[in-house]
Structure 1
């Protein structure tokens, strides 16, 4: 079995969101290389599917790639916070909808060649509207999108985030396929 071994690493940059580390990596053939990596806190995501088989999504702009797309409400899990509670909190803050009982859908590693980030994705059968979202600035709009439209949205590139694409296609498969 070919295993890369991390023989040690040190931090070259740090802020409240991430750490950039430099690792001494031993390759299976014994050679060494320096490898930069990003250490990140866990991320929690949540959405809901209503009685009409519509899924609650955010339409938002991401300034780094300068692109628009459908996403799931998401955010960093605070220190000591339960991951499921963080997912529910993020959904409420970003959409104004409180999810019903959450179910774990999947955990993904969106960039595991560069980062140790883990995104924990939850979903609920239904949600209750509480009011305007606290973090409305995070999206242009919040909509209930027909689950049957998800494969086409992904194919057209309207769901750009890998975590959202994986989760939405899984929900589509579970509910409609």
Structure 2
């Protein structure tokens, strides 16, 4: 059985950030379906954690999201850029930070029913300040919160952005697992 094949594709719109197409697809079960597909180059986000276990969160105005949202520093992958390079660039531009230690937290699909966007997630530690470089049209406040409080905000609905939820949960699990492994090591 195939993994799905495009039988016909028509471009409907090509924009600065996304492209929209109407595609007729053969599904793995042999059926055919017409789908509206939003193509996006993907993105990357950084969970920046300082030596006091505080995480950098941005309070950012998002018109499409209905107002102010809590988010990780993140952005779209530029042509020729790797996901890691994007995460590092966005951390510097949006939060004014660079990191000496980067841990890959995997990737996520933001809305795979219609959207091709894949977001790569990183844990950034060993932080150092850089100049902020917000883009025109960005309204961003930089905040520092204890990671435990940020995770509480994930659970109580204060944080609703999917990349931020997943990034914080994965970073929390990574840190917890690393701590447990150190605790079990008799040489520590």
Task: In structure 1, list runs of 5 or more residues that go unmatched.
Answer: none
SS class of match (1:124) = strand
1 CA distance for matches of 2:112 and 2:29? Answer: 22
Once the two structures are superposed, the pairs formed by residues 29-44 of structure 1 within 5 Å of their partners are 30-44=30-44
Q: 1:130 to 1:33 in 2, by over 3 A?
A: closer
1:134 is aligned to 133
2:109 is aligned to 109
How far off its partner does 1:6 sit?
A: 2.8
**TM-score w.r.t. structure 1 length?**
0.88
How far off its partner does 1:42 sit?
A: 1.8
How far off its partner does 1:58 sit?
A: 0.5
RMSD: 2.1
Q: 1:134 to 1:126 in 2, by over 3 A?
A: same
**TM-score w.r.t. structure 2 length?**
0.83
How far off its partner does 1:159 sit?
A: 1.4
1:14-39 CA-partner distances (Å, limit 9, x unpaired): 11211101111234564432111111
Q: 1:30 to 1:174 in 2, by over 3 A?
A: closer
1:93 is aligned to 93
1 CA distance for matches of 2:115 and 2:102? Answer: 27
Q: How many residue pairs align between the two structures? A: 176
1:154 is aligned to 154
Task: In structure 2, list runs of 5 or more residues that go unmatched.
Answer: 178-188
Does the 8 Å contact 1:92/1:99 carry over to 2? Answer: no
1:14 is aligned to 14
Q: 1:51 to 1:158 in 2, by over 3 A?
A: same
